[in-house]
Every structure is written in C-alpha cells, then in structure tokens.
Amino acid sequence: MPNSMVPRFAADNSNNTPAATWLAFAHLCDHLASTRGKLSKRKAIADFLRPLAAPPAGLAAQFLTGTPFPQADERKAQTGGQTMVRVVREIAGATPEQFSAAYRKYGDLGAAAEDLLRGQAPAGAPLTLEDIHRNFQELAATRMQSAKTSTLLQLLRALTPLEAKYCIKLLLGDMRIGVKQSLVEEAIAEACGEPVADVRRAETMRGDIAAVVALAWTRTLSSARFRMFHPLGFMLATPAPDAQEAFARFLPDGAGTPTGQVENKYDGMRAQIHCGAAEEPGRVRIFSRTREDITASFPELAEWFAMAPEPAVLDGEILAWDPSKSRALPFTSLQPRIGRKRVTPKMRTESFLVFVAFDLLAVREELLLEQPLRERRARLEQWSERMLQAAAANPRFVLAGQPELFSGDTSASERIPRLHLAPAQPVQSAAQIDAAFDEAQQSGNEGLMFKALDSVYEPGRRGLAWIKLKRELSTLDVVVTAVEYGNGRRAAVLSDYTFAVRAGDQLRNIGKAYSGLTDAEILELTQHFLANRIDARGGQILVEPTIVLEVAFNNVMQSERHDSGYALRFPRIVRIRPDKPITQIDTLERVAELFRNQHKGAAANAHGSANVHGDDR
C-alpha cells in the first residue's frame, strides 16, 4: 500500500482525530439503511472507522453489529419495549393515539420515536460514542426499573431525534441497517489495511469486536490468542431441499473415497462446553449458540465435565435422554431448563440430561478450527475415550449420575455417562441416506446433518460445508410481532400470536398461530409480552419483536391478509426458539421459494423444500 494511503492510527483520542459523535454514527446508520450494495456499505463503514482512534472505532464497530455489548459479554441493557415507549411518550408529550399512529406508520420503535421527537432540541453538548456506551453500562448495571427509566429519560433528552432513533434501535437489538458482523469485519480490514482473515481470526479468539479493532489499529492482530472459558462462535448449517440434493453434494470422489459424513440432527439445545483446564481443575463453562453462559441451567453437566482429564472445547447438543431406551426425549423435556438461572433438586430428577458431542474445537492450548473435520473427529473420539475412562475411575461419577432416576438402582446410573458421541457414517449411497433418515426419525431426531470431511470449522458462518435435512415439509423460524388474548379457558392469557419473517430490514407478517405451546409456556410468554407491549389497537397488542418461534404449516398461500403478501395454512407452533436471535429468523425470500416449490410440486417431497442458496439460514 502506498504510504499516502496508510491510514492514520491515533494511539489516543487526541485532537487530531475527528470527534466520534453519536450524531455522526446515527447519520452513518441512516446511510447504511438506505444503501443496497454490500461494497458501498463496507466502504462507508471503513471510511467512518478509519480516522477514529481505537476506542471509539471499536465502539462503532461493536454497535454496527447490532448489540450494545460484545457477544461474549454477559451484560445486557435490559430495557424492555414498554419502558422505552413510556420514556419516548413522556419526552415527546405524545398522547397514546399519537404514539399509536407513529408506531403503526413505521412498525419500528426507533423510527416512531424519531418522528414523535421531531423539533425537539437536545439538552446539553453533543454526545460521543463513549458517552452513549457509559449510559448503556449504567442501564446494564441496574435491575431497578425506576433507575433504568430515569437513565433513559436523561439520555434520550440529550439526543436529537435521529440520534434517539438509533439509540433505541440499538438498545432493542433491532438495527435493521442491513449490516452483519462479517461485513463489519471486512470494513475493519479495509480501514486498517490488514487481511480480513486476520481480523476474523482475532474475532474468533476474542469474541469482542472492539478488542479486535484495538489490535487491528496497533497492527497486533496476530497476538490474539484463544482463551479457554471464552466462547467461540458456532458453525451453522444450510438447509437442503431434499435428500437427493444433500447426497449429491457429498458424493464419494472418483476413487470411491467418501467426501462427507452424515450424523443425526438432534432436537435439543446447541452448546459449547469448555472444561478441564490444568490451571483451574474442575472449572466448566457451557455456552449457548448466542454465546451466553448457560452453565447454571445445566449443573449436572457441569459436575460431570468437571472430571475432564485434559482441557477441551466441545461442540454439541444438550438433550434430555431416556436412559432405558438410549435415545433422546422430545425437546419439550429439555425446555423447562432453558433460560433457568437456578435449577432445583426436583428439576434435576425430572429428566436425565446428556451432551451429544459432534465436534472438538480445542484440546489443551491447541485450537483445532483449521484442521479438517476428519482430523477433528478423530481427535474428538480420542478425547472422549480419555474422558470416559477418567469419569469411570472417578468416585464422583456415581454422585454425578442420578440415582433417583433409577429407582434405587445406582449401578445403572453409574454406567450412564453424560457425554455421548454423535454417531457419524461416511456418505456412500442415496439408499444409505434414505435409510439413515428413516432411522433418525424413528429415534425421535429431527433429520440429518451432512458435513464435508475436509472442511474447517468456521465460527459464526452458515456455509455449504454443513447441510441440514429436516423432518417437516417446512418449518419457519419467525418472530412474534403482535399478540391477543385467547377465548374460553385462555381468555386471561395472551395466546394468539401474529408472526413475521424478515424482508431485508423490515419485518413482514405471514401468519397467526394459536396452538402448540403448553399452558406454562403461554403464561410465561404472557408476562413477557405485557412487559414488552408497544402499542394496542382493538384487541391486538403490538409487542417488541423478541420472541422467536418455529412454526410448522401445511402450505403457503398468496394472501392479502398480512403485509407480506403470503399466509401460512394451518400454522402451528413447534416450539419457542430462545436460542435463535431475531437476525437469524427466516426471510420473505424463503417463503416465496417455498411457495414456488409447492407449485412446481417439489413440496410434495417428504424431506423438505427449503432453498439451499436463497437465504442465510
């Protein structure tokens, strides 16, 4: 790179660097929201970051990924939609009707606030990115609603309408500016002239994009080291339309050597287990797909993996297990644990939990992500052998089992480890895949996973190296946008849910479902929705879009009933997906594809009708 093009990196926030104001950031976001091309977006972000010192550039990068705090950070701002509505109405002096009209016009709380606050002059000097960050920290530090409300009031009063719009959107985790983390990583690379692969690698290690900017700005990306007990990103799979297509991608090569392996797709909760650190024996951390620490929800797994003889990071699925049949129980048996901060002894006796491992990401200090799957799998088998031996030799194993479940027969629980290996077979023939699919279903699993044997582990990416084939003809992951009280027995609870898919940066409704959840789930959701109510009209309550559901349905129709132009026929809720962020729900493109496939008759295929290339699932 010629010298004149080398960006100036300020070591501190000196006067040479332009002030990183929140207003400039809000303008950038508005520009990104209206810019279509990825390259133009990337350039706009790079141009914004380049002249900034590392701390504000890091914050800007962090905020552009759509969350106030790094993914690996446990802090949450926890400001519900209802608090936000109250604060916006108070500052704008808006009546409920005025608020309703603005919300309905935009379908987005940030944009509605911008409209209502128009003409308001902010109190005090312009805020910087660092000022905003301090306020977010304050919000995260208090659990008291009154303190949150007063911090928010003060903050929003200090902002222009445009600034308030993006502050609210960021706090609600709903930026809708068409920017993914991978694009921010590319922009960081472009801004500092370092290879994007180095930026990505550092992000994988640190799970904190602001920290990565600090390294990039001082040209020390290569110093990022993997640290045990800090979550790595999860590799994701692309849906296959049918078994033939999946098989075709993993045909044995010319010499008949397999290129792929097939595993069952388990219907549990994806998790990453870190265990066995030599310097902290007994320490175990379990992370969810959104990189949250969920160790407290699964104490029996933490106790069991505390016996690990050597440090490892495992990728797999937590399942409720039927020890007598050696198979997984339905997801509903696991569900009471999800999101639970304290697990009672009674809950521990209700289901026996295991971890089915399918990948090994690190052993000792060695990160294995760059190793091909065949190598990682071999190492996983070796590690798991050692782990099982260590557990069997450990007197704690008996305690870590659950004698209660075996009606006093403790010898049975002694023999049941908490670690299972996901069986994997090399992909050989279409007939073998059909049989494997049927077998997976008979064992109560969701379908199959195909994985390329020479593929590296790509954290946070959804590529074609992993392909999933699901049971249902079609299910969609959607977000609830509006709720209503039910009838009869359900008259006191919010049990009717209108839900949407993503259309670019918008949400578009495609259906309404009433059935599929348990009474306990409906009760819990009712409380959640009441706290996140944004607006009401007639019997319908608009809610902050946070609850992701997986819905099954018979087919897709074109319809004017919802603003997507489509409606699902006989939708029913398969389950709540607390593990899936709203950014990963299904898209209108996928709905359109399902609709077209139905018409081509492809939907009649029993193994699914998703589009492999269409969207980012």
Contacts with ligand AMP, residue ranges (CB under 6 A): 237, 263, 265-266, 270, 289, 317, 358, 422, 449, 468
Nearer to ligand AMP, 139 or 469 (CB): 469
Are the CB atoms for 304 and 418 separated by under 8 Å? yes
Beta bridge partners of 552: 475, 572
Share of the chain residues as helix, strand and coil, in percent rounded to the nearest 5: 40, 20, 40
Which two structure tokens, joined as six digits, stand for 256? 């008949």
Which two structure tokens, joined as six digits, stand for 399? 């305690």
Q: For 79, how many CA atoms within 13 A lie in the half-sphere containing its CB?
A: 34
Straight-line distance from the first to the last Cα atom of the chain, in angstroms, rounded to the nearest whole number:
37
Nearer to ligand AMP, 377 or 533 (CB): 377
> At closest approach, how far in Å is the CB of 616 from ligand AMP?
10
Which two structure tokens, joined as six digits, stand for 524? 């819990």
Which two structure tokens, joined as six digits, stand for 132? 């905003």
Nearer to ligand AMP, 317 or 496 (CB): 317
Nearer to ligand AMP, 45 or 436 (CB): 436
Nearer to ligand AMP, 179 or 467 (CB): 467
The span from the CA of 246 to the CA of 464, in Å, is 10
Map tokens 């039927």 to a residue: 322
Are the CB atoms for 264 and 448 separated by under 8 Å? yes
> At closest approach, how far in Å is the CB of 276 from ligand AMP?
22
> At closest approach, how far in Å is the CB of 107 from ligand AMP?
26
The span from the CA of 244 to the CA of 242, in Å, is 6
Nearer to ligand AMP, 333 or 495 (CB): 333
DSSP 21: B
Nearer to ligand AMP, 267 or 535 (CB): 267
The DSSP code sequence of 164-201 is: HHHHHHHHTT---SS--HHHHHHHHHHHHT--HHHHHH
Mode of pairing for the β-strands spanning 260-265 and 447-452: antiparallel
The span from the CA of 343 to the CA of 304, in Å, is 16
CA proximity to 237, closest of 466, 477, 445: 466
The span from the CA of 363 to the CA of 584, in Å, is 30
Could you confirm whether 265 is annotated as catalytic? yes
> At closest approach, how far in Å is the CB of 231 from ligand AMP?
14
Nearer to ligand AMP, 265 or 376 (CB): 265
Nearer to ligand AMP, 217 or 266 (CB): 266
Number of neighbours of residue 438 by Cβ within 10 angstroms: 10
> At closest approach, how far in Å is the CB of 313 from ligand AMP?
15
> At closest approach, how far in Å is the CB of 79 from ligand AMP?
28
> At closest approach, how far in Å is the CB of 499 from ligand AMP?
17
Residue at 603: amino acid letter:
A
What is the 3-class SS of 357-417, one letter each residue?
EEEEEEECCEECCCCCHHHHHHHHHHHHHHHHHHHHCCCHHHHHCCHHHHCCCHHHHHCCC
CA distances, 229 to each of 207, 291, 341, 470, 601 (Å): 11, 11, 19, 32, 49
Q: Using CB positions, name the residue nearest to ligand AMP.
A: 270
> At closest approach, how far in Å is the CB of 449 from ligand AMP?
4
Task: Give me the catalytic one of 169, 265, 451, 470.
Answer: 265
> At closest approach, how far in Å is the CB of 354 from ligand AMP?
13
The span from the CA of 287 to the CA of 273, in Å, is 7
Cite the active site residues.
Answer: 265
